[in-house]
Amino acid sequence: MPLLEVKDLVAGYGSGPAILKDTHLAVETGQVTCLIGPNGAGKSTLLRAICGLLPPRAGEVWFKGRRIDGLPAYEVLRLGICYIPQERGLFPRMSVRENLRMGGFILRDRAELERRIDEVLQQFPVLRERAHQRAGSLSGGEQQMLSMARTLILRPELIMLDEPSLGLAPKVVRQMYDIVQMLKERGMTILLVEQNAVVGLQNADHGCVLDLGQTLFEGPAEGVLADPRIQELYLGKARAA
């Protein structure tokens, strides 16, 4: 059984047209799954629907064998799903440590929260050095690192990343994906949306292609990357004969 399974999901904003149309997706435990597709395909909308920020109009979302579509976002968070949006969601006037503290706002044991913060800072030496620095003064790569570190406070089972490489220099992108691999090695499952299809798929186990709100195809990341349709859409190569 997949850790996360999306079945025939339909979702949109307000009274507008549906962005997702019978979308399906399966995310296996311990794997990195990369979701790709053109702008407007519904990738970010899918993440928002999974984590409870956007109530689906139809379809189902299952997590660890439990149906979760329709649950509020805070309940989905408690179940072990953390979502990092494109805009990172940091508090720029707060320090690095204060931002990490906000990541554990649902923990009632304050001493345990501080222990977890110290543990996370040990994993991210750059953030440890800047623990008392305002988040807004960090570089773009450091802010993305802080966003990822903050999710670890709650020890989630599934981390969803929306465009983790957006606006970052190639060297920093490599650092971000090194962190993704570190999280995978520690047993976490990751679902990421990536506009840079090649980079995303090269760092994933499984790939899924969305277009116009529908799942076109999915499979092992190497196979998706080698598929002639991906070669044409993302690398500008002609479709194989």
**Domain ranges (residues) in the chain:** 1-80+156-241, 90-155
Rounded to an integer, what distance in angstroms lies between the CA atom of residue 218 and that of residue 205? 11
The pLDDT profile of the chain, 241 residues, written as one tens digit per residue, is 899 999 999 999 999 999 999 999 999 999 999 999 988 899 999 999 999 999 999 999 999 999 999 999 999 999 999 999 887 789 999 999 999 999 998 888 999 999 999 999 998 999 999 999 999 999 988 998 999 999 999 999 999 999 988 888 888 899 889 999 999 998 999 999 998 888 999 999 999 999 889 998 899 999 998 888 777 776 554 333 2
Q: What is the distance between the alpha carbons of residues 120 and 152, in angstroms, rounded to a whole number?
A: 7
32, 204 contact by CB (below 8 A): yes
Query: Treating both helix axes as pointing N-terminal to C-terminal, what angle do 110-123 and 96-103 enclose, rounded to 10 degrees?
Result: 120
Sign of the C-alpha dihedral computed for residues 143, 196, 220 and 161 taken in this order:
positive
Q: Which of 127, 102, 116, 139 is nearest to 179 (CA)?
A: 127
Average pLDDT, rounded, for the chain: 91
Q: Output the pLDDT for position 119.
A: 94
**pLDDT at position 241:** 29
Cβ–Cβ under 8 Å, residues 185 and 216: no
Superfamily of structural domain 1-80+156-241: P-loop containing nucleotide triphosphate hydrolases (3.40.50.300)
